[in-house]
Structure 1
Amino acid sequence: MLRKISGVLILYISLYLLGNGTVNASVKVDFSEDLFSEAVILIDGKSGKVLYEKNSEQQMYPASITKIITGILAIEQADLSDTVTISKNAREVIGTRVYLLEGEEVELKKLVQGLLISSGNDAGLAIAEHISENEMNFARKMNQFVREKVGVDNTNFTNPHGLFDEEHYTTAYDMAKIAKYAMKNDTFREIVSTKELPWIGEGWETTIYNHNRMLWNYEGATGIKNGYVQKSGYTLVTSVQQGETELIAVTLNAPSSKHAYRDMHRLFDYGFDNFDTKLIAKDQVFQDPFGSKYTLADDLYVTVKKGDALFLDVSIYGYLKVVGKNNQLVGIRGLQRMEEQVAKRTPEFLASIERR
């Protein structure tokens, strides 16, 4: 018993160096009457913890935040150095454009930049046709991607740009998960954080400016996309990093751009005033009551409420338990036993595997 208590204290001290807090991050607050958007959510961009939500699982029309998926799909599943020949269909798409010309040859990465920075619908359709030959096939790929790669199931896309369609819908919760996934990609992250970019094309020479104004008006903003069509209202997805904490917020169907940005400010002010993200590193060594040593397979991020205590304990079955206020179990993660990891790297072990 004494060994167990000592182990807990050692783990607590090591975590204390990361900062005080608790993963039981729920804070009872309701400022929904102060928010203009019909559906909103605020999550921790590293742990995924939901910090605030209103109607977050209600199906809504996304408008141009759809382009988050088009962009990350192109980055992950195509070669950005490819040359794309612009079709007549892409040239004639309605809405915001980067004024591509039929027959123009454009590098795929440039199209992704035009898509995510300047919200070019023509760039989106050109990307779809390059990857999947037509819009319908690309929409199938988008839906497969968000289900299999991201793990959302309340979203359906019918096009790559977000122009209105009754069957083109998502939720604030799903978009937050999609944004969290996309922001792990360095190329995507670099593009959506770009404030301005020279654009030299056959039909348009200018400087394009990021349509997400949060990059200019909120400290630490790192991306990612805004949108608007009449039936969706104003939609906005934004990520902000301050210190080690990065939060992601989604607002859907705001009555105006001004209202969407006001809601964003309100959500991020609340998030950074009340929460921190803490890292439990995968190379940290944990010990159970019998002296067996373990590590995590991957870094573990937890969201903590400022000012609360957080304790860690290791069970005899190799589980890391995260314990918060009033001894409440608020998180659990399986551990890897260190002896097994060492064995897997010895010549004797490798030789035994070859003989099997």
Structure 2
Amino acid sequence: MLEKGLGRRSSILFFIVVVLLVGSATVAHAAVRQPAVHAKAWVLVDLRSGRYLAGRDQNLRLPMASTTKIMDALVALRAGHLNRKVTVSRRAAAYAKAPYSNAGLAAGERLTERELLEAALIPSADDAAFALAQALGGGSARRFVDEMNVEAGRLGLRETHFENPIGLDQKGHYTSARDLAKMTRVAWRYPLFRRIVGTARTTLRVGGREIPLVNTNELLFDYPGAEGVKTGTTPKAGECLVAAARRGDESYLVVLLDDDERFTDAVRLLDYAFARYDRRVLVRAGSSYASVKVPYRRGEKVKLFAGHDVSYTVDESDRIVRRIHVRKILPNAAHRGEKLGEIAVEVDGRTVGSSPLVAGRGYAAAHWWQKLWYTVQGIFG
């Protein structure tokens, strides 16, 4: 294949009438206009949370060329055993020639599965991808493709189906921009995947020769913060690109299918995301968000503090709501740091995270005379 370019809580919780609205979020970035994109289908998402930010025809089924190899990597990484040696078959070596992208592997050469994965992802080598599929499929690339489809089903990728492990144009071989973003985010959880797709250049040593690997993703060479991930080109799929970039604590993922200006459009969309959106701490660990009355101590309260940060990618138009829940019946005694409630954050009506609310100090169980005095005060108070 040709490559042109480098719930609800338990019943002991109740909802306090404390809803903090941050209607006009104080996001520093001014609103910016969404750029024009030439792709037949595309999507822009927050890489960390998966929040959909923009797109067009993102659920349209389309061929995806060598971006297929992202699923190759995911299945391989789930299988493990990447240090096992593999002998390149004659069938795999048949892809080591034009018009296929290839690493020039020869039949009989031995590489580790990790080396094959590097060759498949960095220069998009079809010979390496097929050899890897055969190895992980117990000698059968078809069996490996079946595993790819099982994994797609496991991930809920309804617009995705594979017929080969390379990305060749073939009936029944398709995905959508949104599905491709989802599978990429799952693969992104693996440090090895991130390291490989973020490698601009490296060298494989096979037998007595060296094989230079140069990444087909041009953004790795000239876009600040670029981290990967995969290109693809075939006659039917056109030029495709999955691109990720990170600056500070913000990271975004772009998927472009059938786009003859894929790198330019990716830059425009990533610039747009960095300009418009901001990752904000919406609940800060150690900050007090509520207080509760100590059982049987009239007028005595304990402050509740967030146990950890809740961060999310937002823009200035988002409506942010914090909902606080505390235990309906507090324990007779509690220690410092004990969970007594929860704070949940909604962005535009969707819950995006939560943090436990913990006691800022402990308190001991009330004595019988404290309970009696509390009751008397309630009667005559």
For the pair 1:322 / 2:322, whether they are aligned, the reply is: no
**Equivalent position of 2:53 in the other structure:** 51
More strand by share: 2
Instruction: List runs of 5+ in structure 2 lacking aligned partners.
Output: 1-15, 293-301, 328-340, 360-381
**Equivalent position of 1:237 in the other structure:** 242
**Equivalent position of 1:253 in the other structure:** 258
More helix by share: 1
Determine if contact 1:239/1:247 at 8 Å carries over to the other structure.
yes
**Equivalent position of 2:227 in the other structure:** 222
**Equivalent position of 2:312 in the other structure:** 302
CA distance in 2, matches of 1:102, 1:282: 57
**Equivalent position of 1:98 in the other structure:** 103
CA distance in 2, matches of 1:179, 1:135: 22
Q: Deviations over 1:334-355 (max 9, x none)?
A: 665769xxxxxxxxxxxxxxxx
**Equivalent position of 1:119 in the other structure:** 124
For the pair 1:191 / 2:196, whether they are aligned, the reply is: yes
CA distance in 2, matches of 1:113, 1:280: 39
Larger mean Cα displacement after TM superposition, 152-161 or 233-242: 152-161
Normalization by structure 2: what TM-score? 0.73
**Equivalent position of 1:153 in the other structure:** 158
Q: Deviations over 1:258-314 (max 9, x none)?
A: x11111111111111100123567966775664795867x97541111586745231
Determine if contact 1:62/1:169 at 8 Å carries over to the other structure.
yes
For the residue of structure 2 that corresponds to 1:176, the secondary structure is helix
Determine if contact 1:224/1:238 at 8 Å carries over to the other structure.
yes
For the pair 1:331 / 2:351, whether they are aligned, the reply is: yes
Determine if contact 2:312/2:352 at 8 Å carries over to the other structure.
no
**Equivalent position of 1:68 in the other structure:** 70
Determine if contact 2:66/2:232 at 8 Å carries over to the other structure.
yes
Q: What letter matches 1:322 in structure 2? A: V
Q: Deviations over 1:197-219 (max 9, x none)?
A: 01222496342110100111211
For the residue of structure 1 that corresponds to 2:258, the secondary structure is strand
Q: What letter matches 1:53 in structure 2? A: G
Relative to structure 1, the CA distance from residue 131 to residue 238 in structure 2 (aligned partners, 3 Å threshold; closer, same or farther) is: same
Number of aligned positions between the proteins: 316
CA distance in 2, matches of 1:203, 1:157: 36
For the pair 1:140 / 2:140, whether they are aligned, the reply is: no
For the residue of structure 2 that corresponds to 1:130, the secondary structure is helix
Q: What letter matches 2:102 in structure 1? A: R
CA distance in 1, matches of 2:125, 2:114: 13
Residue 82 of structure 1: CA displacement?
A: 0.6
Q: Deviations over 1:316-347 (max 9, x none)?
A: 476644255xxx534255665769xxxxxxxx
Determine if contact 1:20/1:307 at 8 Å carries over to the other structure.
no
Instruction: List runs of 5+ in structure 1 lacking aligned partners.
Output: 13-18, 340-356
Q: What letter matches 1:275 in structure 2? A: Y
Determine if contact 2:32/2:275 at 8 Å carries over to the other structure.
no
CA distance in 2, matches of 1:122, 1:228: 16
CA distance in 2, matches of 1:8, 1:30: 30
Q: Deviations over 1:205-260 (max 9, x none)?
A: 34211010011121100000000000100000000001100000000011x3xx11
CA distance in 1, matches of 2:284, 2:105: 47
CA distance in 1, matches of 2:86, 2:105: 11
CA distance in 2, matches of 1:248, 1:48: 9
CA distance in 1, matches of 2:198, 2:229: 7
Determine if contact 2:201/2:212 at 8 Å carries over to the other structure.
yes
CA distance in 1, matches of 2:162, 2:188: 20
Q: Which has the larger radius of gyration?
A: 2
CA distance in 2, matches of 1:78, 1:169: 26
CA distance in 1, matches of 2:217, 2:235: 18
Relative to structure 1, the CA distance from residue 117 to residue 319 in structure 2 (aligned partners, 3 Å threshold; closer, same or farther) is: same
For the pair 1:35 / 2:41, whether they are aligned, the reply is: no
Normalization by structure 1: what TM-score? 0.78
CA distance in 1, matches of 2:105, 2:352: 51
For the residue of structure 2 that corresponds to 1:216, the secondary structure is helix
- What is the root-mean-square deviation of aligned Cα atoms in Å? 3.2
Determine if contact 1:61/1:232 at 8 Å carries over to the other structure.
yes
